[in-house]
Amino acid sequence: VPPECHFQLGLLLCVLQLSTIAWAETLLIKGGTVVNADHQYVADVLVKDGLIESVAANIKAPKRSRVVDATGKYVMPGGIDPHTHLDAEMGWGSKAEIISTDDFYSGQAAALAGGTTMIIDFALPINGDLAAGFERYKRVSKKSVMDHGFHMAVTTWNEKVSADMGKLSKEGINSFKFFLAYKGSLAVTDDQLIYGFRRSKELGALPIVHCENAAALVEAQQITFDSGFTGPEGHYISRPAVFEDEGTARALRLAQYVNVPVYIVHVMSGGAVAEIAAAKTRGQRVVGEAVASGFGADEAKIWDPDFKVAAQYVMSPPIRNKEHQRQIKAGLAGGVLSIVATDHAPFNSTHKRAGLHDFRKIPNGVNGIEERLHVAWDELVVPGLITPSAFVGLVSTSVAKTYNAYPRKGLIAPGSDADIIVFDPEVRHTISASTHHSRMDTNIYEGREVKGKVVVTISRGKVVWENDKLDIQEGAGRFVKLPVGGPLFEGLDALDAASVASNYPYGTPGQPVVRNLGTSA
């Protein structure tokens, strides 16, 4: 409490001061190199009322503004992670009712400390009920500290599901996720996937698919378990790349059949990268997502003799060997994959012990919400595979474009939200559970030194991360409504017409052939 409040005359001044701090911090980010997905240039960035006001050379600091020195550093749009599972009531793989370790407060605190200023989280239905699931997520996300949107998972098919997809698409959800894996709980069948694709297309919502062959992996799990591999490595052994390659090919072919754009989550195999490249080559609209663990985590650790270490690495599809990781990085560098997410599905070491004697019961998921930018920079920019601009594209701009949040998000330009990071490419730091901001008691990148560090994070115009300290407020986060339609859906009608033309070379849909059946019938 500032002392002037204790004098009556000072009261007005104090109130004014407090409201200035809360609402209208004017920030000037000086001397940095602004990096957008298209190009980079040296400029100052002026932030007012949560928005970017101007980007220009030598902006004079307005009165009472706070200056952030970015000399020698990159000034980039805040990261957007389109694949997180906060407060998720589901121990994937485990039959136990387990809730993921980070909620919307701790998960987003970790995100901000790592330079991510928006997430799109996967809301789950409750017993197949989408609307009920969304109500739960609206409630648990009230703790949010930053901007966030939602996808919704579709885990069964009936008229209510179809109707709820329509309802949710008007409430700011513009993507629906379908699991080919997790037989008996989340998985959909091929016919359900087709219905879901058709409904998504009708709504202008993007279908998202987790691609693995559910039936094959259940059989492989049994064989693996029966042969004595009951530990975490059994998870790896029983999910070979061919299951992911097949699932990816099938999802892509069915999307081609329905003529709907499609988003493939967590690509973990070189074969899946190749399937996506092939689909793009034949003209399909596909967005391929890599996750940081898929090219930045040590796949050998799942064989560690210490259960606590090994179980951390259980996620689906599994983290594969260096050759797969190389192909994923090449896919990112070459444009086959356009997004780096995390699939942050945190289950601490106590949760993971649900599968101590049976790898099938280990909840699936790894951490990454805080480490994503650092791992991606270290794996992709430092070795020269991509430029800083391409990096911004992968961790922010492409996500904003895919989910219709651009140019409000994913761009440093006047009028855009002031979600900004200052990145120092020269600072090295070591990732550890002892210093991270997630509630997890482990970290799959434990002990890894990375080059480059997010030194300042600005969320909606407020400095929330500086000098290794968070300054956040529970409940300050906004639900960002994501509208349907957008560039991915433009011109689909013309493609549909072309496909009808090729399917009915000698006839017209709706006008069956009137055929002379002859006399013998």
Q: In the chain, what's the furthest Cα-to-Cα distance? A: 108
Q: Shortest approach of ligand URP to residue 219 CB, angstroms?
A: 19
Q: Shortest approach of ligand URP to residue 341 CB, angstroms?
A: 10
Closest CA to 154 of 189, 110, 115: 189
Tell me whether residue 365 or residue 410 sits nearer to ligand URP (CB atom). Answer: 365
Task: From the list ligand URP, Zn ion, none, pick the one residue 352 interacts with, judged by a Cβ distance below 5 to 8 Å according to partner type.
Answer: none
Indicate whether 121 belongs to the interface with Zn ion (CB under 5 A). no
| Crossing angle between the packed helical segments 241-258 and 214-226, to the nearest 10 degrees | 170
Q: Shortest approach of Zn ion to residue 192 CB, angstroms?
A: 16
- DSSP E strands in 39-165: the ranges are 40-42, 44-48, 51-56, 66-69, 74-77, 79-84, 116-123, 147-153
Say how many residues touch Zn ion, by CB under 5 A. Answer: 5
Task: From the list ligand URP, Zn ion, none, pick the one residue 148 interacts with, judged by a Cβ distance below 5 to 8 Å according to partner type.
Answer: none
Indicate whether 1 belongs to the interface with Zn ion (CB under 5 A). yes
Q: Which residue is nearest to ligand URP (CB)?
A: 364
Tell me whether residue 73 or residue 266 sits nearer to ligand URP (CB atom). Answer: 266
Task: From the list Zn ion, ligand URP, none, pick the one residue 1 interacts with, judged by a Cβ distance below 5 to 8 Å according to partner type.
Answer: Zn ion
Site string for Zn ion, 336-375 (x = CB under 5 A): -------x--------------------------------
d(CA 96, CA 89): 10
Q: Which amino acid is at 112?
A: L
- Following DSSP, what letter does each residue of 353-412 receive, concatenated? GGGTT-GGGSPP-B--TTTHHHHHIIIIITTTSS-HHHHHIIIIIHHHHHTT-TTTSS--
d(CA 361, CA 284): 37
Q: Shortest approach of ligand URP to residue 310 CB, angstroms?
A: 15
Say how many residues touch ligand URP, by CB under 6 A. Answer: 10
Which residues lie across from 98 on neighbouring strands? none
Q: Shortest approach of Zn ion to residue 342 CB, angstroms?
A: 9
Tell me whether residue 153 or residue 260 sits nearer to ligand URP (CB atom). Answer: 153
Tell me whether residue 353 or residue 408 sits nearer to ligand URP (CB atom). Answer: 353
Question: Are 344 and 375 contacting, i.e. CB atoms less than 8 angstroms apart?
Answer: no
Overall size of the chain counted in residues: 521
Stretch that binds Zn ion, among 22-30, 207-215, 434-442, 454-462 (CB under 5 A): 207-215
Indicate whether 343 belongs to the interface with ligand URP (CB under 6 A). yes
Footprint (CB under 6 A) of ligand URP, residues 84-113: 85, 92
Indicate whether 10 belongs to the interface with Zn ion (CB under 5 A). no
Q: Shortest approach of ligand URP to residue 365 CB, angstroms?
A: 4
Footprint (CB under 5 A) of Zn ion, residues 287-346: 343
What does DSSP say about strands 449-459 and 462-466: parallel, antiparallel, or unpaired?
antiparallel
Question: Are 344 and 422 contacting, i.e. CB atoms less than 8 angstroms apart?
Answer: no
Closest CA to 372 of 59, 159, 78, 175: 78
Site string for Zn ion, 47-76 (x = CB under 5 A): ------------------------------
Question: Are 234 and 359 contacting, i.e. CB atoms less than 8 angstroms apart?
Answer: yes
Tell me whether residue 55 or residue 341 sits nearer to ligand URP (CB atom). Answer: 341
Q: Shortest approach of ligand URP to residue 444 CB, angstroms?
A: 12
Site string for ligand URP, 269-308 (x = CB under 6 A): ----------------------------------------
Q: Which amino acid is at 437?
A: H
Site string for ligand URP, 310-329 (x = CB under 6 A): -----xx-------------
Q: Is 41 left (phi over 0), alpha (psi -120 to 50) or beta?
A: beta
- DSSP H stretches of helix in 211-260: 214-226, 232-237, 241-258
Triad 457, 413, 387: Cα angle to 5°: 70
- DSSP helix/strand/coil, 288: strand
Tell me whether residue 341 or residue 418 sits nearer to ligand URP (CB atom). Answer: 341
C-alpha 472: how far from chain center? 22
Site string for ligand URP, 344-383 (x = CB under 6 A): -x------------------xx------------------
Q: Shortest approach of ligand URP to residue 229 CB, angstroms?
A: 19
Q: Shortest approach of ligand URP to residue 329 CB, angstroms?
A: 19
In this structure, what DSSP letter does residue 143 have? Answer: G
d(CA 262, CA 469): 39
Footprint (CB under 6 A) of ligand URP, residues 197-256: 210
Q: Is 228 left (phi over 0), alpha (psi -120 to 50) or beta?
A: left
Task: From the list ligand URP, Zn ion, none, pick the one residue 365 interacts with, judged by a Cβ distance below 5 to 8 Å according to partner type.
Answer: ligand URP
Question: Are 362 and 355 contacting, i.e. CB atoms less than 8 angstroms apart?
Answer: yes
| Positions in the binding site for ligand URP (CB under 6 A) | 85, 92, 210, 266, 315-316, 343, 345, 364-365
| Positions in the binding site for Zn ion (CB under 5 A) | 1, 5, 14, 210, 343
